[in-house]
């Protein structure tokens, strides 16, 4: 089926197991109206074999734009799971090709293990696209194990886009090791190579690419969105007009550990909205308490009489709301102390816990950036000679390492010969002069 047209995904919050559940997403949506949210990964067989799909797929409609991330490696199962999810109204379906967890990439043979099998990924995506009218995207790494060259990455993108019909890749700008490193180590040990994401946009200009990897907030994301593709000096600030920059930026754990400081200014700083979604954390908490109280027990009651979800589950996303602020630690302690008393509602819990937070913090507005929204910052981001981005404070930081040499031509010719990404040396792009790339 042809995919529905979708607005550019300028900013998104990454899918994170055990973190980006329905409750966190509701909190995030109260903080930012326009940012794309992702579910936790849902395994295809979970939806196929569990009749209670509401437990995994239902969401309040105000959480849109919302992307469902699926995990699996069987085209038929993924197509069936996507079909089940279609009636819930997700804006996109995303295939997980980046999780290095043993239970996913090892025993499950999906997640980051799929980086080694681009033909399988293409088949999975093609099957889902045939089953639903929803856009299908891929979240992946730069590579896995020793299949970690830029040419191999181009091969992956070329095969999955041409044969799977995928036009948007969210790239976690690190490779991963399928064995020997924990998930945490795979997020920190392999070096970041953000310049590869810009190089992909250079080499596949007809596709969309989003950067994921250690972006700490919406202001850093806005600067990254304004950075030009190598060789495209006109790319500054011309995202909407010419598509010269990357599609978007995906923020990971910073959005969970410090949701207010990370996302509160996103609607204005990234999306160019006239106002942000919330004026203060007091406003956010008043609205979130209404939501939290309304969903208590939605999924039933346990044998011990406790509700599913209970107050603890809906309170969990609030732990980082005052991260780094006066009273923040006391607030977390007060939440835990209050939960031990088994409050009947989230409202009752917050009434006590918020005594730890000064009114000046509770009512403080989002911290604004001095720079204009990314789409309007072309002139501000140019250097003194007017030819490129500035490294001054508030402007893009400049990566000193070179962008990879061009490989798009070899990838396309390889596809034509049935060997994606492979071509004789004389057909590959000559390194030439490698431009610096402004990234964050």
Could you identify the residue written with the tokens 């310049």? Answer: 195
d(C-alpha 378, C-alpha 38), whole Å: 30
Helix or strand (DSSP H, E) at 261? helix 259-263
- Measured between alpha carbons, how far is 249 from 216 in angstroms, rounded to an integer? 11
Which secondary-structure segment (H or E) carries 437? Answer: strand 437-438
Strand runs (DSSP E) across 217-302, as ranges?
248-251, 300-301
Other beta carbons less than 10 A from residue 175's beta carbon = 25
Look at residue 175 and give its three-state secondary structure: coil
The DSSP call for residue 213 is: S
Q: From CA 66, how far away is CA 338, in angstroms rounded?
A: 32
What DSSP designation does 283 have? Answer: H
Contacts of 131 (CB under 8 A, 6+ apart): 1, 79, 80, 82, 83, 86
Answer yes or no: 125 catalytic: no
Q: What is each CA distance from 236 to 11, 63, 265, 278, 392, in whole angstroms? A: 17, 31, 21, 29, 16
Per the residue annotation, which of 97, 99, 125, 262 is the catalytic one? 99
DSSP state of 106: I
**CA–CA separation, 64 and 132 (whole Å):** 18
Neighbours of 207 (CB within 10 A): 18
Q: Which two tokens stand for residue 248?
A: 């978007």
In angstroms, the first-to-last Cα distance of the chain is 37
Written as six digits, the tokens of 86 are: 């279609």
Contact 159, 122 (CB under 8 A): yes
Q: List, as one string, the DSSP characters of 217-285.
A: SHHHHHHHHTSPPTT-GGGTT-HHHH--S-SEEEE-THHHHSHHHHHTTHHHHTT--SS-S-S-HHHHH
SS3 419: coil
Collapsed DSSP state (helix, strand, coil) of residue 137: strand
Using alpha carbons, list the distances in angstroms from residue 40 to 69, 122, 271.
7, 22, 24
Q: Which residues are catalytic?
A: 99
């Amino acid at each position: 089926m042809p995919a529905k047209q979708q607005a550019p995904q300028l900013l998104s919050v990454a899918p994170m197991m055990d973190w980006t559940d329905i409750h966190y997403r509701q909190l995030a949506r109260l903080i930012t109206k326009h940012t794309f949210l992702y579910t936790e990964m849902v395994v295809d067989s979970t939806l196929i074999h569990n009749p209670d799909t509401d437990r995994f797929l239902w969401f309040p409609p105000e959480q849109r734009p919302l992307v469902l991330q699926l995990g699996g490696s069987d085209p038929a199962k993924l197509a069936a799971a996507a079909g089940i999810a279609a009636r819930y109204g997700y804006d996109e379906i995303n295939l997980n090709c980046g999780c290095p967890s043993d239970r996913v990439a090892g025993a499950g043979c999906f997640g980051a293990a799929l980086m080694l099998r681009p033909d399988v990924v293409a088949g999975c995506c093609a099957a889902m696209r045939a089953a639903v009218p929803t856009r299908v995207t891929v979240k992946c790494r730069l590579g896995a194990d020793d299949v970690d060259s830029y040419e191999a990455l181009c091969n992956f993108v070329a095969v999955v886009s041409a044969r799977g019909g995928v036009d948007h890749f969210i790239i976690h700008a690190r490779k991963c090791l399928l064995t020997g490193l924990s998930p945490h180590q795979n997020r920190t040990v392999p070096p970041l190579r953000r310049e590869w994401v810009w190089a992909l946009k250079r080499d596949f200009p007809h596709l969309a690419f989003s950067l994921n990897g250690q972006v700490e907030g919406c202001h850093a994301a806005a600067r990254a969105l304004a950075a030009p593709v190598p060789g495209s000096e006109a790319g500054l600030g011309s995202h909407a007009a010419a598509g010269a920059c990357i599609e978007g930026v995906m923020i990971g754990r910073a959005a969970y550990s410090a949701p207010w400081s990370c996302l509160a200014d996103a609607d204005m700083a990234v999306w160019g909205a006239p106002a942000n979604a919330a004026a203060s954390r007091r406003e956010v908490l008043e609205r979130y308490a209404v939501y939290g109280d309304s969903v208590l027990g939605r999924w039933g009651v346990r044998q011990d009489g406790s509700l599913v979800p209970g107050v603890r589950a809906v309170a969990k996303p609030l732990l980082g709301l005052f991260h780094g602020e006066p009273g923040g630690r006391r607030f977390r302690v007060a939440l835990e102390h209050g939960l031990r008393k088994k409050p009947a509602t989230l409202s009752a819990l917050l009434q006590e816990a918020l005594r730890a937070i000064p009114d000046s913090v509770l009512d403080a507005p989002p911290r604004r950036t001095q720079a204009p929204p990314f789409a309007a910052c072309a002139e501000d981001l140019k250097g003194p000679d007017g030819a490129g981005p500035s490294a001054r404070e508030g402007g893009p930081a400049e990566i000193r390492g070179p962008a990879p040499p061009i490989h798009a031509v070899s990838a396309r010719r390889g596809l034509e010969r049935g060997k994606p990404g492979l071509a004789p040396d004389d057909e590959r792009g000559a390194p030439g002069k490698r431009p610096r790339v402004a990234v964050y």
